[in-house]
Amino acid sequence: MTLHTRSLAALAAGLAAREFSSVELTEHFLARISAANGALNAFLTVTPERALADAQRADGVLAQGQGGALTGIPIAHKDIFCTDGIQTTCASKMLKGFVAPYDATVVERLTQAGTVLLGKTNMDEFAMGSSNETSHFGPVKNPWDLSKVPGGSSGGSAAAVAARLAPAATGTDTGGSIRQPAALTGISGIKPTYGRVSRYGMIAFASSLDQAGIMAASAEDCALLLAPMAGFDTRDSTSVDRAVPDYVAGLERSLKGVKIGILKEFFAQGLESQTGARVQAAIDEYRRLGAEIIEVSCPNLPLSVPTYYVVAPAEASSNLSRFDGVRFGHRCENPRDLLDLYKRSRGEGFGSEVKRRIMTGTYVLSAGYYDAYYIKAQKVRSLIAQDFKRAFTQVDVLLGPTAPGPAFAIGDKVDDPVTMYLNDIYTIGANLAGLPAMSIPCGFVNDLPVGLQLIGPHFSEAQLLAVAHGYQRVTDFHSRVPVAYT
Amino acid sequence: MSLTRKDVEGIAHLARLQMTEAELAAYPESLSKILTLVDQLNAAPTGAIEPMAHPLEGEIQRLRPDGVTETDAHLKYQANAPQVASGLYVVPRVIE
């Protein structure tokens, strides 16, 4: 049975026609997780009982001829989303054993849409990392080559989808954490516009950049899942009250005359030549599809990494101050006094990359440095946003690589944080400007997938998905599965 | 920009982070590297530019009426607490 290689639409059709039940589908994926997770470490928690209960409920709905496009479809959630009654760790020792007392809005909405919860996926600790190596529970392996990283921070979700252990999984993206792992594992992933999807119940890293999204094999699958996730939520003060378009209905629009901007800065120093060649081939494909290719420039974009490494740590140091060893999370043994309780609980509970970012953030916000670092970075952030705005007066969508190269070896970049940070050089700009962006597979280098990035103006998710889908109609990179997981 | 071990100790105190010997030995170098990366920002001409206040132009932080919207669920929340007594979170003595 090859249920795991079918699209979501095909799975939904099979469920509706009673070709197979949601329980059978769920058992199929649970069996795949049991077989593969030991090697991949993609899931931190598997929830078979919950999954089968969800599936039985879905089968009841389907038996009455009811249900929607997602009724009975199994999915996984990144372990950054709170799940009522289920351990939610953010891959940190700090939250080991933490059982969330409520569901994140994303979880709640996808449950209401009829999805089945398979489990919670591994990630970089508190979403801080680009390789999944900062997880307290061990690195995730890339299904295309177990010696390589899957990218991060949503590396568990990416590996789970790439190995077809789940048809789709949620992710979050603060500086590229959906797109870069999607690229490195050969799947599709979308980071929506800031404010499009509720952040309620999503453990905060950098609140002006964090955005929830979805990872699946294809843009079409992403469109199906993004629909119920998106939309206004009173419980997130930055959620935007704006109608959600029909992402699926818009997929088939023609690419004729669509203006695609090639960002000059994305093809400069740092891009590996073979990766660049795959992206160039995709540009040629778009030209054949009738798109107009225009070169554009965002001159301040090369400053996005230094800008991010002021803004994100600053917000993180503030957000993570809630982990104080008092109300939840790790507490040290026998604290002498309150200061000792704070310091040792935090020192023991956080891993080294998280501590590094808290320290960076504390420093750039401290008296005497705030203007030089934080205000300066927020000004450059304005410049970067203006660059994008100007580019979108010329083109409908921007195109470039997602990452400078394919997946790198586990252990390769852990000793130098700055080298690791530079892997997000092409993805961070969209977060700084709050723009929607996605990554889709566009080929292979040495049998490792390469990702193509598309960035659109605010709230242009429907167009991004259509531009991605147009490419996937004439290519098959998105349907390739690593040999060991076919 | 280069940070010393003493700088790192000071920042760690502000951040309420207990550092191990190994961390105190390693962080000055890696944090200095990050600050060197960040120093690239000095080259950007930001004279009359406003610092960004919100990723979406024109959006302002929404406010809500200050009303009671949640029911009491302290038992559920406190199930995650390291130490509670009589419905209260317990910490080391603060006032002698």
Check pLDDT > 90 for residue A474. Answer: yes
Q: What is the 3-state composition of chain B as percent helix, strand, coil, each rounded to the nearest 5?
A: 40, 5, 55
User: Is residue B1 predicted with pLDDT exceeding 80?
Assistant: no
Q: Do A376 and B41 touch (CB under 8 A)?
A: yes
The C-alpha atoms of residue A91 and residue A354 are separated, in whole angstroms, by 11
Q: Are A237 and B61 in contact (CB under 8 A)?
A: yes
**Cβ separation B91–A327 shorter than 8 A:** no
**pLDDT, mean of residues A171-181:** 98
A84 touches chain B (CB under 8 A): no
Render A290-348 in DSSP notation, one character per residue: TPEEEEE--TTGGGHHHHHHHHHHHHHHHHGGG-SSSSSS---SS-SSHHHHHHHHHHH
Instruction: Give the tens place of pLDDT for each residue, B41-64.
Output: 999 999 899 999 888 987 777 888
Token pair, residue A45, equals 């928690």
CA distance A224 to chain B (A): 25
Sequence-separated (6 or more) residues with CB below 8 Å from residue A305: A421, A422, A424, A425, A428, B37
CB contact under 8 A, B18 and A346: yes
Q: What is the pLDDT of residue B70?
A: 85
pLDDT reading at B11 higher than 60: yes
Number of CB pairs < 8 Å for A and B?
A: 177
From residue A399, give the alpha-carbon distance in Å to each of A128, A259, A274, A340, B63: 25, 10, 17, 50, 37
A101: which chain B residues are within 8 Å (Cβ-Cβ)? 73, 76-77, 79-80
pLDDT at residue number A1: 53
Q: Does domain B1-41 have CATH number 3.30.465.10?
A: no
Alpha-carbon gap, residue A287 to A258, rounded angstroms: 10
pTM above 0.95, yes or no: yes
Name the band, by pLDDT with cuts 50, 70 and 90, for residue B95: confident
pLDDT tens string A261-283: 999 999 987 899 999 999 999 99
Mean pLDDT across the stretch A14-28?
A: 97
Residue-wise pLDDT for A392-427, tens only, equals: 999 999 999 999 999 999 999 988 899 899 989 999
- At the topology level, CATH places domain A3-256+462-485 in Amidase signature (AS) enzymes (3.90.1300)
Q: How far apart are CA A58 and CA A56, in angstroms?
A: 5
SS3 A478: helix
How far apart are the CA of B9 and the nearest CA of chain A, in angstroms?
A: 10
Residues in chain B: 96
* Cβ-Cβ contacts under 8 Å, A99 against chain B: 79-80
Please provide the DSSP assignment of A201-245 as one string.
TB--S-TTT--EEEEESSHHHHHHHHHHHBS--TTSTT----PPP
Domain borders along chain A are 3-256+462-485
Could you list the beta-strand ranges (E) of A104-227.
Answer: 116-121, 168-172, 188-191, 212-216
Residues 27-86, chain B, touching A (beta carbon < 8 A): 27, 30-31, 33-35, 37-44, 46, 49-57, 59, 61-64, 73, 76-77, 79-83
- pLDDT tier, A38 (very low <50, low <70, confident <90, very high otherwise): very high
For residue A117, which phi and psi values (nearest 5 degrees)? -90, 110
Rounded mean pLDDT of A426-451? 98
SS3 A361: helix
Any residues with CB less than 8 A from the CB of A445 and at least 6 apart, and which? A272, A274, A275, A278, A405, A406
**Angstrom distance (rounded) from CA A188 to CA A315:** 28
Residue A153: asked if its preceding bond is cis (omega within 30°), the reply is yes
Asked if the C-beta of A358 comes within 8 angstroms of chain B's C-beta atoms, the answer is: yes
| Average confidence (pLDDT) over B78-87 | 96
What does chain A come to in residues?
486
Residue carrying the six token digits 């700084």: A432
Angle separating helix axes A461-474 and A219-229, nearest 10 degrees: 160
- Separation in Å, CA of B74 to nearest CA in chain A: 10
| Type of residue numbered A123 | M
Q: Give the residue extent of every domain in chain B.
A: 1-41
- 3-state secondary structure at position A119: strand
pLDDT of A6 higher than 80: yes
Contact B77 A324 (CB under 8 A): no
List, for residues A214-265, the tens digit of each pLDDT value. Answer: 999 999 999 999 999 999 999 999 999 999 999 999 999 999 999 999 999 9
Residue B96 has pLDDT above 80, yes or no: no
Tokens of A62: 């389907």
CB contact under 8 A, B49 and A383: yes
Structure tokens, B80: 């995650």
What's the whole-number mean pLDDT along residues B87-92?
Answer: 95
Residues with Cβ within 8 Å of residue A431, at least 6 apart in sequence: A173, A174, A175, A176, A191, A194, A209, A211, A308
Cα separation values, A469 from A5, A100, A159, A307, A383, Å: 17, 36, 22, 32, 31
| Cβ atoms of A141 and A410 closer than 8 Å | yes
**Per-residue model confidence as pLDDT tens digits over B15-43:** 999 999 999 999 999 999 999 999 999 99
Cβ-Cβ contacts under 8 Å for B91 (sequence gap 6 or more): A326, A338, A341, B83
Residues 196-215 of A with CB under 8 A from B: 208-209
User: Phi/psi of residue A234, each to 5°?
Assistant: -65, -20
Looking at residue A399, its amino acid is L
Cβ separation B41–A378 shorter than 8 A: no
The half-sphere exposure of A443 on its side-chain side, counting CA atoms within 13 A, is: 16
The pLDDT assigned to B58 comes to 79
Residue A415, pLDDT score: 86
Backbone angles phi, psi at A452, to 5 degrees: -110, 130
- Chain B CB within 8 Å of residue A377 CB: yes
Q: Do A379 and B51 touch (CB under 8 A)?
A: yes
As a whole-number percent, the residues of chain A with pLDDT over 70 amount to: 100
With beta carbons less than 8 A apart as the criterion, state whether A362 and B11 touch. yes
What is d(CA A59, CA A54) in angstroms, rounded to the nearest whole number?
9
Instruction: Specify whether the CB–CB gap between A427 and A179 falls below 8 A.
Output: yes
Residue A171: strand pairing partners: A213
A302-349: pLDDT as tens digits: 999 999 999 999 999 999 999 999 999 999 999 999 999 999 999 999
**Residue A84, class by beta-carbon neighbours within 10 Å (0-12 exposed, 13-18 middle, 19+ buried)?**
middle
Q: What is the dihedral of CA A156, A158, A159, A165, to 10 degrees?
A: 100
- Work out the mean pLDDT of chain A and round it to a whole number: 97
Which residues of A form the catalytic set? 78, 153, 177
pLDDT at A276: 97
A341 touches B: beta carbon within 8 Å: yes
CA distance B82 to B44: 47
Q: From CA A285, how far away is CA A443, in angstroms rounded? A: 12
Give the number of other Cβ atoms within 10 Å of residue A35's Cβ. 12
- Residue-wise pLDDT tens digits, A190-214: 999 999 999 999 999 999 999 999 9
Note whether B20 contacts A: Cβ–Cβ < 8 A: yes
